[in-house]
């Protein structure tokens, strides 16, 4: 998979995407992530990428020209991959990012992510360029950089060969519509708090049964809304 990010704060990305599992995925060639400075695409001599909104009102709006030009350039990479890219604008007005959406995106070969700022992005970008608007939740952040990193993290860990044990992602929260069962590690007892006896039994059938029950119990307690879809 290839992921291109268009942003006015390129330096925000490496400290996050250059660590841990995402770093390994990049080093192993499972994903190629390129960060592009939107200011390189502006025709303004002061490298301006925003302007005042038509009709008045507070704040500034991101101009369409640099975004159209940046994406046109990045789409050429897709032509080489013989694939249409998915062009995603991070936006609080977008479709909510869920595990299901992350799975769908992980099947794509090329994602182009556009990070908004200020009051947002000129509407013509949404209408004529973007294929998907994605939100990471019903709250407003100052920019699309953190949402883009959240999206990248959740998508990349689903790519084949990225997680150590391929099965580990199959039993996680939201996979079957439930939250994950409780996990324990050594020691078997601390401050008189014991690990459930069944987990020490070595009986895998009993352990699986216990985990299924616990997943239901945890979901009923913490996220009863999820049970509607199970
Ligand atoms: C301050 S917000 C603009 C909000 C816009 N005025 C509105 O009311 O819809 C600036 C940028 O941050 C990003 N952003 C903010 N909240 C987000 C969220 N929940 N999910 C994804 N992106 C978000 C978007 O790229 C957005 O263009």
Which tokens in the block code for residue 122? 């000129």
Atom of ligand 1 nearest to the CA of 97: 20
Is the four-CA dihedral 133, 136, 137, 140 of positive or negative sign? Answer: negative
Nearest residue to 37 via CA among 66, 79, 78, 72: 66
Do 141 and 176 sit in the same domain of this protein? no
CATH number for 50: 3.40.1280.10
Q: For ligand 1, which residues put their CB under 6 angstroms from it?
A: 90-93, 115-117, 119-121, 135-137, 139-144, 147
Do 59 and 136 sit in the same domain of this protein? yes
Do 141 and 178 sit in the same domain of this protein? no
What phi and psi values does residue 8 have, to the nearest 5 degrees? -95, 0
Q: Please tell me the distance between residue 196's alpha carbon and the centre of ligand 1 in angstroms.
A: 44
* Residue among 96, 112, 117, 120 whose CB has most ligand 1 atoms within 8 A, to mutate: 120
pLDDT band (50, 70, 90) for residue 166: low
Q: Please tell me the distance between residue 7's alpha carbon and the centre of ligand 1 in angstroms.
A: 13
**SS3 (DSSP) at 138:** coil
Do 196 and 144 sit in the same domain of this protein? no
Residue 162 included in any domain: no
The stretches of the chain forming alpha helices (DSSP H) are: 14-17, 20-27, 64-81, 99-106, 123-128, 145-156, 204-222
The pLDDT of residue 168 = 66
97, 125, 156 - which closes a domain: 156
Residues 6+ apart with CB under 8 A from 103: 158
54 is in an annotated binding site: no
Do 184 and 129 sit in the same domain of this protein? no
Residue 166 included in any domain: no
Do 206 and 99 sit in the same domain of this protein? no
Question: What is the per-residue pLDDT across 105-132, written as a single tens digit (0 to 9) for each?
Answer: 999 999 999 999 999 999 999 999 999 9
Its domain, for residue 104, covers 2-156
Do 81 and 51 sit in the same domain of this protein? yes
Atom of ligand 1 nearest to the CA of 142: 1
Predicted structure pTM score:
0.95
Do 13 and 117 sit in the same domain of this protein? yes
Number of domains into which the chain is organized: 2
Question: What is the per-residue pLDDT across 52-87, written as a single tens digit (0 to 9) for each?
Answer: 999 999 999 999 999 999 999 999 977 777 789 999
Q: Please tell me the distance between residue 187's alpha carbon and the centre of ligand 1 in angstroms.
A: 45
Does 170 score more than 60 pLDDT?
yes
The pLDDT of residue 94 = 98
Contact in structure between 49 and 66 (CB atoms under 8 Å): yes
Which tokens in the block code for residue 33? 């992530």
Do 144 and 178 sit in the same domain of this protein? no
């Amino acid at each position: 998979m290839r992921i291109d990010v268009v942003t006015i704060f390129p330096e925000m990305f490496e400290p996050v995407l250059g660590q841990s599992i995402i770093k390994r995925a990049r080093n192993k060639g499972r994903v190629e992530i390129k960060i592009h400075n939107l200011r390189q695409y502006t025709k303004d001599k002061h490298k301006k990428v925003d302007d005042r909104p038509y009709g008045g009102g507070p704040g500034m709006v991101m101009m369409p020209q640099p975004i159209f030009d940046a994406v046109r350039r990045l789409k050429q990479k897709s032509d080489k991959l013989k694939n249409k890219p998915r062009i995603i604008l991070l936006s609080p007005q977008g479709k909510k990012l869920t595990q299901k959406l992350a799975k769908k995106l992980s099947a794509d070969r090329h994602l182009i992510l556009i990070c908004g700022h200020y009051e947002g992005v000129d509407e013509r970008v949404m209408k004529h360029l973007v294929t998907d608007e994605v939100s990471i939740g019903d709250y407003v952040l100052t920019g699309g950089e953190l949402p883009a990193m959240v999206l990248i993290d959740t998508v990349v860990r689903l790519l084949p060969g990225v997680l150590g044990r391929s099965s580990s992602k199959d039993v996680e929260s939201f996979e079957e519509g439930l939250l994950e069962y409780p996990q324990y590690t050594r020691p078997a007892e601390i401050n008189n708090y014991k690990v459930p006896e069944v987990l020490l039994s070595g009986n895998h059938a009993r352990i699986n049964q216990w985990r299924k029950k616990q997943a239901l119990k945890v979901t009923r307690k913490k996220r009863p809304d999820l049970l509607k879809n199970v």
